[in-house]
Structure 1
Amino acid sequence: CSLSHSLVYLHLLCPCLCGSSSQMTLKECLDECMEALDLFLNNHFSESLERLRPRVNESMYHALIYATVLEMQAMMTFQHDDISNAGNTMKSAQEVCQSQGITMSFMQLHAEVCYAECQLQRAALTFLQDENMVSFIKGGIKVRNSYLIYKDLHSLIKSHNCLKGPSHVHLEGGVSFGIGAFNLTLSLFPPRILKVLEFAGFSGDKEYGLSLLRDGATGMNLRSMLCALLLLCYYTFLTFILGSAVHRPCIVHAVALFEDGCKAQQAWKQFHHMCYWELMWCFTYKRAWKLAYFYADLLSQESRWSKAMYVYMKAAYLSMLPKEEARPFGEDEVELFRKVPTFKQKIAGKSPPTEKFAIRKARRYKATCPIRLPVPVLEMMYMWNGFSMISKRPELTEGMMQTLVDAERTLLESPENEYSVDDRCLIHLLKGLCFKNQGLLQAAEECFNKVLSSEKKIRFDHYLVPNSLVELSLLYVDQGRRDEAIKILHKAKQNYKDYSMESRTQFRVHAALAKLKADPGEEDDTHLLSSSIFL
């Protein structure tokens, strides 16, 4: 798909046929696809597909948008048949792009951008479809091919030789989406990984990526919705996970909106699952364990995305209830914890880190007389950066602190066992976060240092030490102790490997160093590359 001859076809933007058997111009094809997207965004999913289906074999844009909708459905259902069907449809769409780029040379640039988008989406499906490293490599090749096409197109449309016409906004929007998405995503990778990727021809500039996505989102083009969704994902999810954003949650309002989201449509129940996940955390922040359990239970029954995680969370919520309190549906947390490993899955040959973490934690319950986890919900809440979420809500932090104080008292009153040090260190880490939220910085520092002083005694939860270093460094940042913070971040980055949720911790370290504009160091991060897609 070289663009070496693309300049010959600058009359691309003149009225043209959308396919050999169609009398629709390119503009008419784009207009109809925009209408189909509007139907999709207004929850008319079947009508959207019906509008697109008649021309999927002759119009590259109809084929692309049709396949994109099917891919979205497949990614939500996680059903093998849906993934396979979406993959075959996307492959067919790619073939339509190829045929139109060759037989109708004046449409080559539009065909190229559609082809690149097909390659990128086929890569995503490849990661989901097969559970082996070969699929990961194949997907990576598709990603690279897609990027190189986007890169050539971007250079072309930015050159003075590229004429602009009525359909140029759609072409430019497609390129803005592709180049913007690549730059934003790659900029989040730790420096050493980024250097490897740059050697392969990639580049990652966060601000440039964001600017391109903003341009794409604000223009009236076919990819505006995709650009807007990616920006929303970045600002509301990725910055939250990486700990680089400050939130002040309004739980009551959020619950109402997520419930409205579930009521908005019934055709694609998988959209409900995203709301269930958020509702689960909303009630977690309020310590409404039974209500949170209810949504974890719905997810465990209906969603295929991570049953191990959902079952673990069900067990975790039940374990937070008093022993004498009746369990919903007569379920028992010990039995649920024991079932967690049976739901293990792989994506692109690797198990998601959150599932690995849940399975490791659930191992305690294999014993005939299991030693209970002290605060499994709060521990998982930390993994999803939930303590930052409640940092501006004193009453929520106070509630969490009370739960931790109670758990600490129970630990002190219990006989020593092989998990005692680990459990106490976990309590110290989480109490430190609560103290930080309350502005008690000295008390927070003491808690984090208690974890660090116990490093050699920790037997299982080795992730506690590097994460305590990260939290201590962020505490120093708040106190204006920049040099100390940087030193500790480098220690967390360089001295600890192969612990639970390592990639997520390393991404947080990278984000903190980038915010401090500090030298990231030259240590080898390449071992994180294959798992980084799961963050």
Structure 2
Amino acid sequence: MSDTDEQAVDLSAGLDNVQIEDTENDNNLGVKGIVLLLNNHWDESRELFEKHRSQSLVMHFGGAFVHVLQAIMALEEEKIAAAKVGMEDVEKKCRESLHQMKKQKKKSKGTQSDTAGQEDRWMCQIIIADSLLFQAVMTFMNQDIPSYMKGGWLLRKSWKIYEKVHKDISEHYDDSRKNGKVKVRADSTSIVDQVDKEEGANGEPKIGKVAEVPAAVGSAEGTAELMTKETLSRLLGAVSFGYGAFQLALSMLPDKVLKLIELIGFHSDKENGLKALEFSMHSKDMRAPLAVLTMLWYKVLLKPFYTETFQDEELKEVTDLIEQYQSEYPESAMFLFFKGRVCRLQKDLDGALAEYEKAKELCEGLIELRNGAMFEIGWCNLMKLNYDTSMEIFSTLLESSKWSKCFYTYMVALCQGSKGAVDIASNLMKTVPGLVKRKTNQIEAFVSRRAQQFKKIKLTDTLCELLILELIYMWNNLSQCSRKETDKMLAICGAVEEKKFFHVRSLIEGAIYRQHGDLEFSDQCFKEALARHEGLKYDYHIAAHALYERGNYRVQNGEKTEEGKKMLLKAKDGFKEYDFENRLNVRIRALLSTLDGQTKK
């Protein structure tokens, strides 16, 4: 799909540039609310959406989305629960509206008094699908089996709606591109009603394939309305946001969730998702700037987190995208976050810190955004081995953030120990296990187990530094460090004397030598990590990652591809219930998928 020039919308950054006429419709009001949000005017954005929520489902949804975004950024259970209730209320209101449209249609059958047209019906269905998608995302954040089941069921319902509405609007839009306008009949049966009939409005997931979407549900008796290409383009932009985000999110889910989702009937198509998001980005729907954020989230945050390489052309594409939209949102802290991540991908940690400092200044009064900027500043300093600054940042977050006191205490302990205050670090380590809020939180479970090891092992400054390097590696961030920094890291590894951590040391050394281009010696380090882990009843994440690295080296080399695939599959399936399992499995699946694609070509 193209026609981007016709669809492009001026989402100007400054408040003075947001020109809305007295006759502005719901979508234009929604655009204004999103522009306010992206320019850090969160309160004004909330007030605008709240003011119009009772008269407009679009604005009701926009207001609920603001709370969802805040909740996800804060990672606080109370805010997530409240945001979920808000989205459930949006879904309920849209269902009530669809019911009223259905009643009105029956009363006006055969007349021209059916004022609720197909545009309104489609928009209601899109908002319901969006609300189900966001409910699923927040449900998955609980990271337990019941939540995966419930989240999968919500995704299934959401997908059925997206697929049907996207198909219908696409067909009409293609016709309108030829003629400028097209006749559209109001649906006699809503896809939402069909989904409820198949799934139950409050049921549990059913096992089996998703039923094929009907080719058409329009009624010959319904009143036909003329719909312009511009209207259909905006509607297609609206549904393409969720349709595309859904596909991208699905492609990055861990195996245990993905198997469940594939079991209940659908598969992801990443390329199709990217195309849909790109169309939404250039549409005039209020979701257009959200599609831009989602595209950047995938390309700058998610993809580098799970993959080893980031091509130069990809980096240029992302940089151009950020520059294009930052000119429209010069006050947006969110775009500064993305610029900071691009700097990290370029191994420019000083440049990244400069962007995050700017973002922090723009976030005054916005706790979630400010804490996010501070975390990035602390983490970049950690990658630079600046323990004093990192400790100061993580100590502040320990006091100000409600997210994981357990993790922040662990980070402060490591920084204290790394700069020589080992007694303070040891005392802090003792408190870490007692700060775990939920055992299903994988990060808290990991740092708790690490902290408990020091009941029997004496903590030293070198061990604290090694465990910082372990975190940098597990976050897939070693590739973002300069040669100067990785040389210092090698020196730290060489100073480790505690034999019970030699397997960790070997893994980190292997990863650093890989960064330096010494691939054969790197492979020997990973082999040593596996050998040193043999017989241990803990730290299976070290063995799994070492095996992954050995397999990755072989498939990338191209000479021992089959041997490498066997290693990757063993890393994926040979270890169970270890730390960071979900992350590694997604990386392995992405690598194997790439290899399969190359083989087919």
* TM-score of the aligned structures, taking structure 2 as reference length: 0.73
Q: Superposition pairs for residues 88-487 of structure 1, below 5 Å?
A: 88-104=85-101, 105-106=116-117, 107-127=120-140, 134-160=146-172, 163-189=227-253, 194=258, 196-246=260-310, 247-322=345-420, 332-346=424-438, 351-367=440-456, 370-372=458-460, 373=463, 375-390=466-481, 393-407=482-496, 410-411=497-498, 420=499, 422-481=500-559, 482-487=561-566
Judged with a 3 Å threshold, the aligned counterparts in structure 2 of structure 1 residues 205 and 39 are, in CA distance, closer, same or farther, namely same
Query: Match of 1:16?
Result: none
1:11 corresponding residue in structure 2: none
Work out whether residues 78 and 305 of structure 1, in 8 Å CA contact, stay in contact via their aligned partners in 2.
yes
The DSSP-based 3-state class of the residue aligned with 1:332 is helix
Aligned in 2, Cα 1:503/1:44: closer, same or farther, shift over 3 Å? same
In 1, are the aligned partners of 2:148 and 2:257 still within 8 Å (CA)? no
Letter of the 2:44 counterpart:
E
Answer whether contact 1:364 1:371 (CA < 8 A) is retained: no
Change (3 A) 1:519 1:198: farther
Asked if the contact 1:59–1:96 (Cα under 8 Å) also holds between the matched residues in 2, the reply is: no
Per-residue deviation at 1:233? Answer: 1.4
Please tell me whether the aligned partners of residues 432 and 448 of structure 1 are also in contact (alpha carbons under 8 angstroms): yes
How far is the alpha carbon of 1:258 from its aligned partner? 0.1
> Is 1:32 aligned to 2:41, yes or no?
no
- Which string of whole-angstrom CA distances, capped at 9 and with x for unpartnered residues, describes residues 88-122 of structure 1? 33233223322332334411111110111122223
Q: Residue 53 of structure 1 contacts residue 66 of structure 1 at CA under 8 Å; is this kept in 2? A: yes
Mapped contact 1:190–1:506 kept (Cα < 8 A): yes
Q: Distance in 2 between matches of 1:381 and 1:176?
A: 36
Q: Deviation of residue 256 (structure 1)?
A: 0.7
Distance 1:265 1:202, change over 3 A: same
**Maintained 8 Å contact 2:143/2:440:** no
Paired residues, number = 473
Q: CA deviation at 1:377?
A: 0.4
Deviation at 1:315, TM superposition (A): 0.9
CA distance in 2, matches of 1:252, 1:360: 33
Contact 2:137 2:151 in 1 (8 A): yes
Please give the alpha-carbon distance, in whole angstroms, between the structure 1 residues aligned to 2:511 and 2:473.
9
Offset of residue 515 of structure 1? 2.1
Does structure 2 retain, via aligned residues, the 8 Å contact 1:177–1:227?
Answer: yes
1:205-239 alpha-carbon deviations (Å, 9 max, x no partner): 11111111122123332111221122111111212
Letter in 2 for 1:436: R
Q: Please report how far the alpha carbon of residue 339 of structure 1 lies from its aligned counterpart in structure 2 after TM superposition.
A: 1.3
Question: SS state of the match for residue 366, structure 1?
Answer: coil
Q: Is residue 72 from structure 1 mapped to residue 38 from structure 2 by the alignment?
A: no
Match of 1:61 among 58, 64, 69: 58
- Is the Cα–Cα contact under 8 Å of residues 73 and 372 in structure 2 kept in the other structure? no
Q: What is the distance in 2 between the residues matched to 1:119 and 1:192?
A: 21
Deviation at 1:479, TM superposition (A): 2.9
Q: Which has the larger displacement, 184-193 or 492-501?
A: 184-193
Shift of 1:132: 7.0
Structure 2 gap segments, 5+ residues each: 1-20, 102-115, 176-183, 185-226, 311-344
1:254-285 Cα offsets, whole Å, 9 max, x none, are: 10110000101323111012112211221122
Structure 1, unmatched stretches of 5+, are 1-23, 412-419, 521-535
**For residue 496 of structure 1, what is the amino acid of its counterpart?**
F
Q: 1:357 to 1:26 in 2, by over 3 A?
A: farther
SS in 1 for 2:25: helix
C-alpha distance in 2, partners of 1:134/1:58? Answer: 36
1:42 equivalent in structure 2: 39
Q: Give the superposed CA RMSD.
A: 2.7
In structure 1, what is the Cα distance between the partners aligned to 2:537 and 2:135? 42
Q: Describe the shift of the 1:134–1:460 C-alpha distance in structure 2 as closer, same or farther (beyond 3 A).
A: closer
Deviation sequence 1:506-529 (CA, Å, 0-9, x none): 112112212222799xxxxxxxxx
CA contact (8 A) 2:144 2:440 kept: no
Structure 1 counterpart of 2:540, one-letter code: H
Query: In 1, distance between residues paired with 2:479 and 2:94?
Result: 46
Offset, 1:82 = 3.7
Structure 1 26/74 Cα, relative in aligned 2: closer, same or farther at 3 Å? farther
Alignment CA distance shift 1:271-1:191 (3 Å): closer
Deviations 1:370-409 (A, max 9, x none): 455451101111110121222xx221211211221122xx
Percent identity between matched residues is: 27
Q: Answer with 295-304 or 254-263: which moved more.
A: 295-304
Q: 1:28 to 1:206 in 2, by over 3 A?
A: same
> Is contact 2:76–2:403 with CA below 8 Å preserved after alignment?
no
Letter paired with 1:450:
E
**1:56–1:93 contact (8 Å) kept in structure 2:** no
Tell which deviates more after alignment, 35-44 or 211-220. 211-220
2:304 and 2:163 map into 1 onto residues whose CA distance is: 29
Q: Given residue 403 of structure 1, which amino acid in structure 2 is its aligned partner?
A: I
The 1:95–1:58 alpha-carbon spacing in structure 2 relative to 1, beyond 3 Å, is farther
**In the alignment, is the contact (CA less than 8 A) between 1:244 and 1:512 conserved in 2?**
no
